[in-house]
Amino acid sequence: MASILQPIPSDRRRRIRSLTLSLAGALALMGSATAAESAGDAESTASLTDAARIVPAIELGVGRRVPSLDLKALSGPRFQSDSLGGAKATVIAFTSTSCPVTRKYGPTLAALEKEYAAKGVRFVYVNPVDTDTAAAAKEMVQRHGLKGSYVKDTQGKAAKALGARTTAEAYVLDATGTVVYRGAVDDQYGVGYSRPEPRERYVAGALDAVLAGGLPNVAATTAPGCSLDHAGPIATEAKPTFHNRISRILQTHCTECHRDGGVGPFPLESMADAVAHAGMIRKQVERGAMPPWFAAPIHSGSSPWANDRSLPEADKADLIAWLSGSKAEGDPRLAPRPRTYPDGWAIGKPDAVIRIPKPIAVKESGVMDYQNVHVKTDFDGDRWIQAFEVRPTAREVVHHVLVFVIPPNESEADKKRRGDVAGGNYLAAYAPGTGGIGYPPGFAKFLPKGSTLHFQLHYTPNGKATEDQSALGLVFAKEPPKHEIRVAGVTGKLDIPPNDPDYVSKGKITVPVDAKILSFMPHMHVRGKAYRYDLDLPGGKSRTLLDVPRYDFNWQLLYRLAEPLDVPTGAVLHGTARYDNSSGNPANPNPNQRVTWGEQTDEEMMIGYFEYFIPEAKPGESGATLEAAVRDGSALFRRLDRNKDGKITADESPSKQQFEAADANHDGVVTPEELRRLMGRSRSRSR
């Protein structure tokens, strides 16, 4: 079938929004000035430097109204947070005259103030260090020409209310006092390093977004500087009302879907909406069904997920208390700015739009088999995809859309492998609540010339017959990237007996080359009930990467890491899936059926997708994938054969058990052919 393309001039300047995938941390991780730990509780080889990195905003209270503060200024006007003086936005920047990192940011803050004060932005500087003298503070103000309010927070009132973590932390507020960004000013300076120029201007980016009526791409980062004792989330209101608190909780966690034109069954944009649906909101929040986020909670430390949707305990408690209590309205003057959502493509105008050629009729009721549509592309060359978005035309009946790349001249072996994993070469997905995905410069996905796109569409009739003609929008990189983002999957055997309430399927991949994992997406059907990814590191240490104890087929969620995960050569990535084929599973179409692998809902799948890149691989090379390296074993052999003598000895192998399994003739060495045979046996067992 011919593709329907709408080419957009490629020389037009554009700004790609990183809507659901924050990989800025990957760029920092590749630099010499970054601290990073390999695989969490593995032995750390982290640098002693400390650079800004993206963190989940929900943990820091982004989206809350700034607490009531009345601060007398050492210079400039008094600061009262309940009266922002008509400013279009406000920057609260913590600072110090004694912290070496903060002193470097004096000229940067002065330049920001000069640039944005004329645009209606107010600047407030807060010094929380008791031993910084008033004289030193005034000298700093005069030296840099700061015009905003400079506050000596000697009692720690502001630092406690804002949960300030360091003397270099900055907050961006919109005109209603809602915190829309919290973190570093930029990434030019940190603990133990300086750069000639910043790579990311976080505060400037947040201000540009707020002044344009939107939200920043990056909502929270760490803020390298001198640590404070008050670190924590932004304080909440003592007496929550709809306008000062509940409205912001709904905006942050609910209205992305629950709005006019959204995929939620009813809007939650007003107090009347919230009151009318109070019982259902309370039920779904209390049982953990909403917001949709099914990763097991992290009991210590920061969440590793950049797109963590879970509801913080303080927000959950205040929301349930308000829904169960008097439902106080509060002062309308404290209401947040109404949230706006793009009518068109969230990624901006695409360079190309590939639409399924004919609308698909969705019946009024019942169930529908998966629809599979193949659309051949007709680009005049290879393309590197910088951003993509799947847009259904009938969102109310679209359960999910998966898009896969079928490369030209596909071999029969590749075709079989692609069929085994429901398409292989995963490119893009749509599920309720997801938006477009954008990658930062230097990262992209590859679309070879002559490829065919395989659309797999799942519809859920809702009582009204309609039709859908989903489309994929693509934004292309202007040049080949430094790193190619690829997708692989951990799969396992499936032969689920009738009436089995806890069938377990396991699969694994032995990683043949150093890689970095970016995200995970487990995929099962209606009998799937749990999925877990585990990693065994060379040397024997193991850890759980993602545990989804309550898998829900209705939400095909992507779990994105805030920082890329280092996976060294020889590590083993495990996937464990659990299924309920009993009558106790209300979604089970037939508990008396023996269930095997298949694409339809009444069949099952076991795929643990993950996005990754190989730092040393050349983008676009067909063999530069984990799958190719696993198939022939060449990459793993080259890395293990440290003395390059064409054989692997026991002291070169990271695993005694694997070495003994590979040494088929027990002569004390492993040849390339023996390694290939071992890897072939491992693949067979995992299928």
| Length of the chain as a residue count | 687
Amino acid 10: pLDDT: 28
Q: Is CATH 2.60.120.230 the classification given to domain 486-613?
A: yes
- β-pairing, 443-447 vs 483-484, is parallel
Q: Is CATH 1.10.238.10 the classification given to domain 633-686?
A: yes
Amino acid 282: pLDDT: 96
pTM, two decimals, is 0.80
Contacts 24+ apart (CB under 8 A), 675-684: 675/633, 675/636, 675/637, 675/648, 676/632, 676/633, 678/633, 679/510, 679/512, 679/630, 679/631, 679/633, 679/636, 682/508, 682/510, 683/630, 683/631
- Residues 6 or more apart whose Cβ sits within 8 Å of residue 229: none
466-470, 592-596, 613-617: the lowest-pLDDT one:
613-617
Residue with tokens 């070469």: 425
Amino acid 5: pLDDT: 29
Reduced 3-state DSSP string for 580-629: CCCCCCCCCCCCCCCEEECCCCCCECCEEEEEEECCCCCCCCCCCCHHHH
**352-478, what's its fold?**
Jelly Rolls (2.60.120)
- Residues 6 or more apart whose Cβ sits within 8 Å of residue 294: 548, 549, 550, 551, 552, 555, 557
Amino acid 562: pLDDT: 87
pLDDT higher for 221 or 628?
Answer: 221
Average of per-residue pLDDT across 595-616: 90
Per-residue pLDDT reduced to its tens digit, 247-266? 999 999 999 889 887 778 89
Q: Which two tokens stand for residue 123?
A: 């600047």
Range(s) of the chain covered by CATH 2.60.120.230: 352-478, 486-613
Residue with tokens 């169930």: 367
Range(s) of the chain covered by CATH 1.10.238.10: 633-686
Question: How remote is the C-alpha of 287 from its chain's centroid?
Answer: 24
